[in-house]
Structure 1
Amino acid sequence: MALSHGSEQSRARVLDALAEFGLDRIEAGLARAYLDDLGVGVPANRFLADLVDSVAAADARLIARELLDRESPSLVDILRVFELSVPEADRELNGVYYTPGSIVEYIVAETVGQGDRVCDPACGGGAFLLEATDRLYRRTDRPVVDLLEAHVYGADLFANNVRQSKILLLLYALSRGEDPEHVEFNLVEADSLRLDWAETFPTVASGGFDAVVGNPPYVRIQHQSAPTKEYLLDTYETVESGNFNTYIPFVELAIQLVSTDGTVGYITPLNYFTTLTARDLRAFLQENAYVRKIVDFGELLLFEDANTYTAITFLDQHRKGQFQYVSVPDESAVDALADLEPITINYSSLDPEKWRLLDDPAYEAINTIESYRPLDRIADIHTGVATLKDEVYTLVAGEHTGEYYTIPFDGEEYRVERDLCRELVKIPAVSDPSALVDNRRRIICPYRTTNWEDPGEAKTRRVEHEVIPPDDLAATYPRAHEYLEAVRDVLATRENGVGAEYEPWYKYGRKQGIGFVGERLYTPTFSDGPQFVYHDSEAALFANGYAVFPREENGAVLDAVLNSGVMDYYMRKTSKDIRGDYQCYQKNFLRRFSVPTFTPEEREHLRSGCDKRVDAFLAEKYGLDIELP
């Protein structure tokens, strides 16, 4: 079934129709318009008959025209309207994002064979079940009704989704000339992660499903109730700790549901390759060699309504030493996934701390790059300050400010003492050192130093701070105290009201970026290649990125190494891709990059050489036989 073709309606249009007609009438109208187009009057099926009885034929045609600009909807049109009718709050809270048709077709084609029993544990509006039913029908001689009653299974948390799945599957049966009075569906409204599958579907107890497919919900555990979180932590080994996402236990559930010779096909966020919260999942998949194939969409965004980077993962229970890996090069390849050539990944090359899905030459090169002094041993890597209300704390210094800076709030100009403010570097706004020369951005810093580390020969040193108590702040910095008192209610709104509990009320939400002074190299969190910027400062704070504080290597030398083609190659192979050919430069991806030990002459060469000379020198120094970016 060409589920990837035909739907033209927009979410705004569906929302307008919902406001005008209501969901029940839209379901009934589209079903009746589809049946009228088939030439079916009143269907024998009692479920459909009761549904379409509530709307007249003229009204059905009107509803179809309002939604589609035509009176004859296809099954794909109906499916897409159902998907777009989910309230926005439910979509975000319950991680409901619907899958492009070509992806549904590909997953089903890779998992569903002749005579298989298929399950979608989070069936949504029924896209995967409809595609699976069509595939089974075309590959067997069995009636659609027999397939629905013996081969197609599903569950969903929402009654609307289960009902809409039944509507679509019954309309499909009618399109094949079958109009049963009743169908004994294997579709249930339930929380799949808490459902007793063996009791609900004895098929599970008798060997499991031949194919488990779907797009499980992407919901952070913080959005779940405390009892649900506790149950999941107690039940699933893939979520023993951390702020996990619900798609992770859905992967483990799929392994429990699939038969010994069956296949799982899921599309999920691809961050399970690298994130700390998915470490237990990586260990689970790696130790049991469950992965058969991964299709990585990299920086491509497949979902219209979610900023989520995704991958398709195929799993089975056969032990194996390797699996296939496909990197999708661009959007033109999405509709021809079966034609892409995979590479082979050896399980022995994987580390559950973070998966690097590389061919053998790249794997060897990355191991070589990581074989020297790890960056997080010779330097400290830190993220910047997070006040959680920057507009309250930041200001731009004038050319002639005297003892005070001015900052506006609520129609008034307040003054704050210059001595309580520090230079603030907004990393995304700094592309080279020259941008730091005239930086006038300042931040109110209500902290004082309590201890200085002896740095030895290093130009970076660690310092300890504490927030200045209100009485001391009022005595030493009365103007700043007056201003911070004025903005107290605004600061209380931080973290959805948790800021009201801050003691004192003006402390930063996160102060991790004020623990070091001295030379550092800034990097934006996301960058299309290395863009480290050197800054030697005793007082500057930074935000919206990371800083590398050298401890066992010269800052100018690190500047050359971190901005080299070696670093570019490393990050393109080991970091996660972001739309626009950007990579993520978080500490998690930087820390294992390593730096050779240099002679004094080599250090001088790095400090004075041009980019091409530095790249050639470093490639030889690292012992790399690769083409650098």
Structure 2
Amino acid sequence: MASKTRTYERKKLLGQVYTPPHIVEKILRDSGFYDADLTNKKILDPACGDGRFLVPIAEHIIKITPTHQLTDRLNQIYGWDIDPEALESCRMNLNGLIEPLGISVSWNLKLCDALKQLRRRLKFDLIFGNPPYIRIQHLPISQRTFIQSHYNFCKKGSTDAYIAFFELASKLLSRSGTCGFVTPNGFLTSETGKPLRSYFLQNNKIKQITNYGSVPIFGNTATYSAITIFGNLDQENFVFEQCESAVLQYKKRQIQHSELPALRPWQLSVSTSEHIEGQRLGDVCQISVGLTTLADDYYLFSIISEDENIVYAKSKSGMLVHLEKSILKPIIKASKLKLSTDPVTEYILFPYQKDAAGKQRIIPENDLRVQFPQTFSYLLKVKPALERRDNGKPNAVAWYAFGRAQGLDSTFGKKIIFSPMNLAPNFVLYENPDVTVYSGYFIKYDGDYDALLAQLNSRRMAEFIAVAGRDFQGGYKGYNKKIIENFIIKLPEQL
């Protein structure tokens, strides 16, 4: 997208990521650009940067077009960008192509915020690009508000600007137009990608999806990518490609639009899924996130020494303090847990007590001061840090309460613990009821835990996650609740 002279900070701010030439070539080829009759075809890159798409587009037009028609054809190319430096580089790169030809072109390059061009009447036959990758909460508030109020795909949640570019393209395409984008692949499975998936599903518009999974096509950037090609004509099926290796070997198959689930993440695979009789894990189990303090450095401790009632402990922030032993609970970090025999090495300051109904309630401040004076003294020292949590938003429960209330009642007891990220399935049955958990998820089940554990750590789970899980560096896959709850569990009578 952008000029190579851009600093890292500027690229990050504008969501700019370079598009490798082989990816540009693939998008153009798979979209049918090289075989198309380009007579009177308007072509747009809505985030053109220095011309990564527009330059090869212009090169091809120059190669196939008679000289007397060339200026008119090149005038059908449009590029928009919010960065004036990148746009000027694009103009220079395009001019470099035509200088040897002795012609002049007034390039249709526009300095603008592309997402504010939603209501343009001009339609485009071909739209290509690499939309900026930037979470909308990182945008200026005026830009964020505009996107959320004008783009149906982005009205809820912490979405990404590239999602809005899909909606922009859908509005700007001509009746028979085609769009090819390279973007993060998260929209295939994420909650924020649900409106985009619904659009594709309801309208049968997809022509091809190429998922690169954990194959890095943008160098060292932690971007896990997909190419999506869609249009305005109904498609009964589409091509799904999976990139299998860094040398860009692909496997593919045709997928019927009717195969896609309406409400769940898309678990796209190059092999036909085996139909498993059973129930969704989320329908038979309680899957929960561990304790979330939003300030682990001040709530988590390792114990140095202890006597009958008081411990001498070191917080994750490095503070050495005395605390009442009874206010500490043993805790396991799910993201580091490997075996059920892993020892407890951390304790959490747990300012809650059960009420008459057995629910965990915050200890009132006066009670905390009287019953736990050492702990209260410590909390006062770190109060400024606790009050900075959640962007300074006041905690509705108490200034010393955890940042989130989830898991307070359910995190104790027998449970299966799993990390949000792993190389392979590693679900660990942890039977000590006094130990709680953070930095991951846990499962509560009324049935046979051992039978469930065998299925969770099975090859079938690995294959399920290979398709459905989000990709991370080093071959790691995401094991989040939204994905895991869709895993099909065979019932006892089916085993």
Of 475-484 and 409-418, more deviation after overlay is shown by: 409-418
Q: Which of 339, 343, 346 pairs up with 2:256?
A: 346
Q: CA deviation at 1:450?
A: 2.5
SS at 2:93's partner residue?
helix
Q: Deviations along 1:24-60, whole A, 9 cap, x unmatched?
A: xxxxxxxxxxxxxxxxxxxxxxxxxxxxxxxxxxxxx
- Read off the aligned partner of 1:178 and give its amino acid letter: G
Alignment gaps of 5+ in structure 2: none
Distance (Å, rounded) in 2 between the aligned partners of 1:237 and 1:596: 38
**Using the alignment, how far apart are the partners of 2:379 and 2:325 within structure 1?**
15
- The equivalent of 2:348 in structure 1 is 443
CA contact (8 A) 1:145 1:173 kept: no
**Can you list the C-alpha shifts for 1:521-548, whole angstroms capped at 9, x where unaligned?**
1111111221111112333221121111
Deviations 1:474-522 (A, max 9, x none): 1111100011111112223333444x66653222122312221211011
**Is contact 1:212-1:258 (8 Å) kept?**
yes
Question: Per the alignment, do residues 190 and 493 of structure 1 end up closer, same or farther by CA in structure 2, a change over 3 Å counting?
Answer: same
The answer as to 2:294 corresponding to 1:388 is yes
1:131 aligns with 2:52: no
Post-superposition Cα deviations, 1:361-381, rounded to whole Å, max 9, x if no partner, equal 32xx1x41xx42322232210
Change (3 A) 1:313 1:282: same
Q: Which residue in the other structure is 2:230 paired with?
A: 315
Amino acid at match of 2:344: N
Shift in Å, 1:269: 0.9
Query: What residue identity is the alignment partner of 1:191?
Result: D
Equivalent in the alignment of 1:165? 90
Matched position secondary structure for 1:577: coil
- Does 2:271 match 1:356? no
Q: Distance in 1 between the 2:173 and 2:233 partners?
A: 12
- C-alpha distance in 1 between matches for 2:229 and 2:7: 30
Which position in structure 1 is the counterpart of 2:186?
271
**1:471 corresponds to 2:366:** yes
Q: One-letter code of the match for 1:209? A: F
The alignment partner of 1:89 has SS state of helix
1:504 matched to 2:424? The reply is no
Q: Does 1:402 align with 2:296?
A: no
Quote the Cα distance in structure 2 between the aligned partners of 1:341 and 1:429: 34
- Calculate the TM-score normalised by the size of structure 2: 0.91
Aligned pair partner of 2:23 in 94, 103, 114 = 103
Output the CA distance in 2 between the equivalents of 1:105 and 1:125.
16
Question: Structure 2: how far apart are the matches of 1:504 and 1:594?
Answer: 40
Corresponding residue number in structure 1 for 2:102: 178
Q: Give 1:170-319 correspondences, 5 Å limit.
A: 170-174=95-99, 176-178=100-102, 180=104, 183-195=105-117, 198=120, 204=122, 208-304=123-219, 306-319=221-234
Mean alpha-carbon deviation: is it higher for 288-297 or for 140-149? Answer: 140-149
**Rounded Cα–Cα distance in structure 1 between residues aligned with 2:284 and 2:211:** 33
The correspondence for 1:578, drawn from 472, 479, 492, is 472
Aligned residue pair count: 487
In the other structure, the counterpart of 2:45 is: 120
1:482 aligns with 2:377: yes
Contact 1:136 1:147 in 2 (8 A): no
- 2: CA distance between counterparts of 1:332 and 1:143? 41
- CA distance in 1 between counterparts of 2:65 and 2:318 reads 74
**Equivalence for 2:409:** 515
Instruction: For residue 229 of structure 1, report the CA deviation from its aligned partner.
Output: 3.6
Give how far 1:286 is off: 1.2
- Sequence identity percentage: 25
Q: Is the 8 A contact 1:345 1:358 kept in 2?
A: no
Amino acid at match of 1:151: Q
1:239-264 residue CA offsets vs partner (Å, 9 max, x unmatched): 34332211112112112222233321
Match of 1:432 in 2: 339
2: CA distance between counterparts of 1:307 and 1:326?
21
RMSD across aligned positions (CA): 2.5
Residue 550 (structure 1) aligned with residue 460 (structure 2): no
Deviations 1:298-340 (A, max 9, x none): 1122223631211000111111210001100011017xxxxx4
In structure 2, the partner of 1:593 is 487
1:379 matched residue in structure 2 = 285
- Name the CA distance, whole Å, in 2 between partners of 1:548 and 1:156: 47
Alignment partners' CA distance in 1, 2:180 and 2:146: 25
CA distance in structure 2 between the aligned counterparts of 1:529 and 1:188, rounded to whole angstroms? 48
Corresponding position of 1:72:
none
For 1:537 and 1:501, the matched residues in 2 are separated by 31
Which residue in 1 is equivalent to 2:432? 537
Which protein, 1 or 2, shows the higher relative CO under an 8 Å CA cutoff with sep ≥ 6?
2
**1:68: which partner in 2?**
none
Partner SS, residue 319 of structure 1: coil
Verify the 8 A CA contact 2:335 2:440 in the aligned structure 1.
yes
TM-score normalised to structure 1 length? 0.73
- AA paired with 2:6? V
Q: Residues 118 and 151 of structure 1 are in contact (CA less than 8 Å); yes or no, is this contact kept in structure 2?
A: yes
- Structure 2 SS opposite 1:483: helix
Moved more, 321-330 or 113-122: 113-122
The structure with more radius of gyration = 1
Residues in 2 aligned to 1:301 and 1:393: alpha-carbon distance in whole angstroms: 37
Cα distance in structure 2, aligned partners of 1:550 and 1:142:
73
Deviation at 1:430, TM superposition (A): 1.8
